[in-house]
Amino acid sequence: MTSPLNLFYLFFTSSLFTLGGGPALTVVLQDLFVNQNHLLTNQQFLTAMAIGRLTPGPAMIYTVVIGFVLLGIIGSVIALVATTIPSLLIFPVRTLYQKAESSFIVQNFFRGVSIAIVGLIFGTAIRLSNGVISGISDFLIALLSFIFMIKYKISVAKIVGTAFIFGSIYALWIK
Amino acid sequence: MNNLLIFWEFLKIGTFSFGGGVSVLAVFNDEFVEKKKLLTKKEFMQTYALSKLVPGANTVSMTLAFGKKFGGYTGSFFALLGFYFVPYILTLLFTIFYLAFEPFMNNVAKIVMPAVIGIIAATGENFRKTEANSWPSMLLAFIVLISLVSFRLSTIFIILFAGFLGICWGILKNRIKIPAKT
């Protein structure tokens, strides 16, 4: 399927371009693992995200699921280590902080990146719906969780947990 | 603080932070600023601002930064170990459980997957409210969306190019002296 080194490279790159906060990780991970390298299907990627959201921990914890599915225990450790390494930059940045935060180049660079991330997240949602949202009922579920999060500010973990409960009822029903 | 205590503190934070992102930040704030008074509010906010300038998950870089403050570089290592410990094991167990009951779980996923897409779109909308709330920025975000979905440009290229555009825009704004809109 893939070599440990390649897996390390893919997780490291995804994390390195996770700029401006967690959501960018989903964008780059989906692009690298699903669209460019075809290591995962959209379905596997979304399931990994769901598992990651249901268990506690940082947003990037679902890389453990991806690593495990592709290369077992070793893959899961590679996932954790490779996505962590870029974060080590916090040490030099924290020492230089006043310069870094107020720098003209840094500020404007991140302004541009943040705007792009907005488009990229919506674009990734559209790409992920390929093969997943195939009917009106799928669309309604997506819309419902969107509304619960935006309008009623229900936490992600609760929405995913509820979806798992309804999913289990559905799975028992059609059995 | 000794390393074992650091490990323990971050183990608790890792265990009780569900949902990633902002909810993890709330747990950090609650434990270290409000309850234990190990960090000042200002220190916490500064580190949060900086964690956004660093690649990777914000909460991971914050764990590293606070760990170092409590016990040097070994402290940050133990902080990370504690922070990952429970989430890693639970995620692994859940994945093994999922794979063991795959045909059944795949049916469960039929309901869960669309819900996750809704969550990703909602994350995008929350991000848009703070980052792209003017017409020019929304237009740029829309162009990015099209270039990803229709033209299949690489996300890494788009991110770097947008950063470059941001710098150009900043220089241009300084040249023609448009008053900065905040």
Structure tokens at B31: 């434990």
Q: Cβ A56–B14 below 8 Å, yes or no?
A: yes
Q: Within 13 Å of residue A36, how many CA atoms lie on the same side as its CB?
A: 15
Q: Cβ B159–A17 below 8 Å, yes or no?
A: yes
Q: Is the pLDDT of residue A55 over 90?
A: no
Percent of chain B at pLDDT exceeding 90: 40
For residue B172, give the chain A residue with the closest CA. Answer: A108
Q: Is the pLDDT of residue B45 over 80?
A: yes
Q: Cβ A123–B61 below 8 Å, yes or no?
A: no
Q: Average pLDDT of A28-32?
A: 94
Q: Tell me, what's the pLDDT at B24? A: 78
ipTM computed for the complex: 0.88
List of chain B residues whose C-beta atoms are within 8 Å of the C-beta of residue A38: none
Q: Is the pLDDT of residue A155 over 90?
A: no
Distance CA A42, CA A33 (A): 9
Distance CA B31, CA A17 (A): 30
Q: Tell me, what's the pLDDT at B112? A: 87
Q: Cβ A121–B61 below 8 Å, yes or no?
A: no
Q: What angle do CA B20, B114, A56 make, to 5 degrees?
A: 20
Q: Tell me, what's the pLDDT at B95? A: 95
Q: Average pLDDT of A103-108?
A: 83
For residue A26, give the chain B residue with the closest CA. Answer: B120
Residue B156 pLDDT class (50, 70, 90 cuts): confident
Name the minimum distance, in Å, from the CA of B146 to any CA of chain A.
7
Q: Is the pLDDT of residue B182 over 60?
A: no
Q: Cβ B166–A111 below 8 Å, yes or no?
A: yes
Terminal-residue alpha carbon distance, chain B: 41
For residue B99, give the chain A residue with the closest CA. Answer: A69
Residues ≥6 apart with Cβ < 8 Å to B167: A105, A108, A109, A112
Residue A105 pLDDT class (50, 70, 90 cuts): confident
For residue B27, give the chain A residue with the closest CA. Answer: A57
89-148 in chain A: CB under 8 A from chain B: 89-91, 93-94, 97, 100-101, 104-129, 132-133, 138-139, 141-147
Distance CA B102, CA A39 (A): 18
